[in-house]
Amino acid sequence: MPDVWENTRSRWESVRHAVDGGGQGAGPGVATLNGRLGLSVNPIAVTGEAGAGKTVLYDALIQSIRTGDSDSSRSPDIEKHATVLRSGNRRTRAAVTVIPGQLSTQRQQALQDTMRGEASPHGIVHVVCWGHNRIWQRASQRDVQEALAADGTVDREAVRNWHRRKEAADFRLLVEAIIDGQLAKRLRRLIVAVSKSDLYWDRLDEARDHYIPGRARRESPFAALVRDLESETSLRLSVLPMASRLIRHQFLPGLPVRTSQLDDAQIGALRTHFGQELQSFITQRNGD
Amino acid sequence: MAAIDGGAAFLRTLAAAERRLAGVQALSARRRRVRRPRIASASLAVLIPAVLALAAATGDGPGGVLVVAGLTVAALSLAACVALLLRIERPLNRRLAEEQHTMVEEVNRMRELFTHVAERDRWEERLKRSVRERLSRFPVDRGSFR
């Protein structure tokens, strides 16, 4: 069904045009999430590799972070939030769970609580970052450096590839479990949030073709998985660029630092479009 | 810290981390066992003087022998509490923190290297699944052993 991917691309491009066209600031019609206690409805899970920016993305959507905030850190535990999604006068409740990216007891627990058996989110936001994952520990950075050096060159592209392979392996687990019916049986929507896009805005076409099937001469393993998901399930899929805040990124110590290629207003536009996408899913479910 | 430069080294490090995890769990259980008498003795050290003071304030109060006995028990309880805290619990906490730190650091290295090693050594799906399950038994951080 080629239209699916053309539509996905066209949505991606509309976001890009909005950002390149000067950025759409946060106005009254903008969708945002706000922390509130209350009845849990519209369960949403945020998944993705460690260091992809899941927590920062959630924080950006509830507007609890601003440019210039202190650096992020590794999330030590499952994060569960009862939130209200707002757009103009409309409010919708959502229960958002951020699933830890690392293979761990906390991740198992979060999957058990939110995705296995009768528990299922209605939507998943899967966060990827085109290989710009953060490695927190020095020892792990050294390991990656040594492994890449043994295979050839240690440069930004090699580190990107390293993370993209991990990203695809992680996504494969999720996709296979969804297709096999082991996880998230009531899932209806999956949004792939291509985060930290401000770091590679000049190469956004490559990132798009990496995540959305259909155009690249050699389809990436990730795009192939997205295609599998579309053909084997009735999920509604979206793939959108996103940036939660202005950041700088160093792939490994000794490699050049990359800085954001967008300004605050443009990041605001990205957040806005992403929030609207999320809200369209939630309100659609409620029949608004 | 040993290099994890291949599948064999990875599996050796994983086995060592599992032994460390068992050790950490044993230390954690021991700490729980020490905490109970420490908390009980602290409670006695506080409650006995409080009860004696309350009794003295509300009526004739307990006899002199009872006061002396009570205060002696309270003092011994306090001494036991301090001894348990300083001689056993604190060193145990320090050791536990060190072991957890080393274990989490090793496991984080393996989490980072897993996909690379599995692809490079062309691990079978069964082995990958088994390693994933084993890595999933470790905490992200030190939170699980509070």
Which chain A residues touch B136 with a CB distance below 8 Å? 103-105, 107-108
The rounded distance, in Å, linking the Cα atoms of A245 and B129 is 36
Residue pair B132/A103 in contact by the 8 Å Cβ criterion = yes
pLDDT at A37: 41
β-pair partners for B30? none
Burial (CB < 10 A; 0-12, 13-18, 19+), residue A259, is exposed
Region B88-94 average pLDDT: 94
Q: B12-43, pLDDT tens digit by residue?
A: 999 999 999 999 999 999 999 999 999 999 99
pLDDT of res. A79:
66
Given a contact cutoff of 8 angstroms between Cβ atoms, the answer to whether A245 and A198 are in contact is no
Q: Confirm if A223 and A211 have CB atoms less than 8 A apart.
A: yes
CA-to-CA distance for A139 and B17, rounded, in angstroms? 15
Q: Report the mean per-residue pLDDT for chain B.
A: 91
A100 touches chain B (CB under 8 A): yes
- Using an 8 Å Cβ cutoff, are B27 and B92 in contact? yes
Between A52-61, A129-138, A275-284, the lowest mean confidence (pLDDT) is in A275-284
What phi, psi does B141 have (nearest 5°)?
-130, -150
- In chain A the first and final C-alpha atoms are separated, in Å, by 28
Does A288 score more than 50 pLDDT? Answer: no
Contact (Cβ atoms closer than 8 angstroms) between residue A251 and residue A242: no
Residue A28 has pLDDT above 60, yes or no: no
Q: How far is CA A186 from the centre of its chain?
A: 20
The answer to whether B72 faces chain A, any CB pair under 8 Å, is no
Identify all chain B residues contacting A137, using CB atoms and an 8 Å cutoff. 105, 108-109
Nearest chain A residue (CA) to B132: A103
Summarised one tens digit per residue, pLDDT across range A151-204 is 888 999 999 999 999 999 999 999 999 999 888 888 989 999 999 999 999 999
A76 CB within 8 Å of a chain B CB? yes
Query: Does residue B113 sit at the A interface (CB-CB below 8 Å)?
Result: yes
Q: Do B112 and A144 touch (CB under 8 A)?
A: yes
Contact A75 B1 (CB under 8 A): no
DSSP for A94-137 reads: EEEEE--SSSSHHHHHHHHHHTSTT---SEEEEEE-TT------
Is any Cβ of chain A less than 8 angstroms from the Cβ of B114?
yes
Pairing mode of beta strands A32-35, A189-194: unpaired
- Give pTM, 2 decimals: 0.84
Q: What is the pLDDT of residues B47-85, one digit of tens each?
A: 999 998 888 888 776 778 888 999 999 999 999 999 999
- Given a contact cutoff of 8 angstroms between Cβ atoms, the answer to whether A192 and A220 are in contact is no
Percentage of residues of chain A with pLDDT beyond 70: 80
**Dist. CA A136–CA A73, nearest whole Å:** 8
- When mean pLDDT is compared over A64-68, A270-274, B15-19, the highest value belongs to B15-19
Give the long-range contacts of residues A2-9, CB within 8 A, separation 24 or more. Answer: A2/A214, A4/A230, A4/A237, A5/A212, A5/A213, A5/A214, A5/A215, A6/A214, A8/A212, A8/A237, A8/A238, A8/A239, A9/A208, A9/A212, A9/A214, A9/A215
- Those of residues 31-60 in A touching chain B at CB distance below 8 A are 50
Burial of B5 from C-beta contacts in 10 A (0-12 / 13-18 / 19+):
middle
Q: Do A103 and B132 touch (CB under 8 A)?
A: yes
- Chain B residues with CB inside 8 Å of A104's CB? 135-136, 138-140
Q: Cα(A281)–Cα(A285) distance, rounded to whole angstroms?
A: 6
